[in-house]
Amino acid sequence: MDKKCVVIFLTDDTASTYNGKPLMLQDALFCPVLNWCMRAWMEKGVGRFFVVCGEEDMAAAAACFPEGAVAAAGTLDTYAQDLEVFAHGCWIEEVREAMLPVGSMMLSFHSTQELVRLQGAVRDDIAAYHQRTGVNILDPETTYIDPRVTIGAGTTILPGTILRGNTVIGPDCEIGPNAMVVDCAVGAGSVVNASQIYESELGREVHVGPYAHIRPKCRVGDGCKVGAYVEIKNAVFGPGTKMSHLTYVGDADVGGGVNFGCGTITSNYDGFRKHRTVIGDGAFIGCNTNLVPPVSVGAGAYIAAGTTVTRDVETDALAVGRVRQENKPGWAKRRRELEKGKKK
């Protein structure tokens, strides 16, 4: 192992940026440049890093430390007194320019405009790496993959896909076209078509989209479907549950094998607090159902289309909460004749 401690100086180059952060804290493909550099040095055997920065940047610098790195941050005033102890006898190498790893080289840059130009090269590097490990990326020029992302062999990434953060995609998936996946785990064989997923977990062979929105804190079980124009948030779904279209389920605990009809919503917010809905295994939720929590629907229960559920529904029951239909023979004809008479 290389017995080296790399010291990175976050120099006063904020005038060259658009947001007042040092160049080494700018994002390249959604990941701070400092994290890119540390990860590249760790791959070459470096295990100790000391970041010299102002107090206002310490938290952002610390957030860039990769897992397994021995790293610390300090101001210029504390640098001299702290470094010798921290370096622990390692040879000290100082880095005073902003740089980004491209291939096997570390290339320096001096403005955000230069960083943007470098991003094209690192985007291609990342795509090439995943292609070597068995991932099929159809169009690398329209695909953006964070360096922290892991993708299983046999997965296909279609054009317009953006994978960000600590996302893990299992093998044999299909992601895209035009999909955004951020800090998620996606199980083997799943499909994410033209949809957005944030900070959630998908099981195996889950089908999402098109145009679905999975918000944070969702766990979607194996074989589930989150279909067209469906939005879910802070909800758990058992295996085989299906929401095919035009449905919102938030703050809910849903069992397996549940079917949601079109236009179903959980009215989880009362203007002051969020409330949870609980639905048992095998329940059937008819079209245009409003579930007003806190409320529970028992296993195997049926909710008739157009029902607003405000009370718990017991297991295997049928809930009907709508006005009874009444037909009035001849009413439409009389109305037309009446209107016709008014026009004379």
Catalytic residues: 245
Q: What single letter denotes the amino acid at residue 336? A: R
Q: Which residue's entry shows tokens 């049928």?
A: 318
Tell me the HSE value of 259 on the side-chain side, using a 13 A CA sphere.
10
Cβ-Cβ contacts under 8 Å for 165 (sequence gap 6 or more): 30, 146, 148, 149, 182, 183
SS3 195: coil
- Judge contact between 316 and 301, C-beta under 8 A: yes
Q: Name 101's bridge partners.
A: 106
SS3 91: strand
Cβ-Cβ contacts under 8 Å for 331 (sequence gap 6 or more): none
Secondary structure (DSSP) of 123-161: HHHHHHHHHHTT-EES-GGG-EE-TT-EE-TT-EE-TT-
Q: What is the C-alpha separation between 94 and 5, in angstroms, rounded?
A: 9
- Judge contact between 66 and 41, C-beta under 8 A: no
- Judge contact between 330 and 337, C-beta under 8 A: no
What b/e string do you get for 28-55 counting C-beta neighbours within 10 Å, with b at 16 or more? Answer: bbbbbbbbbbbbbbbeeebbbbbbbbee
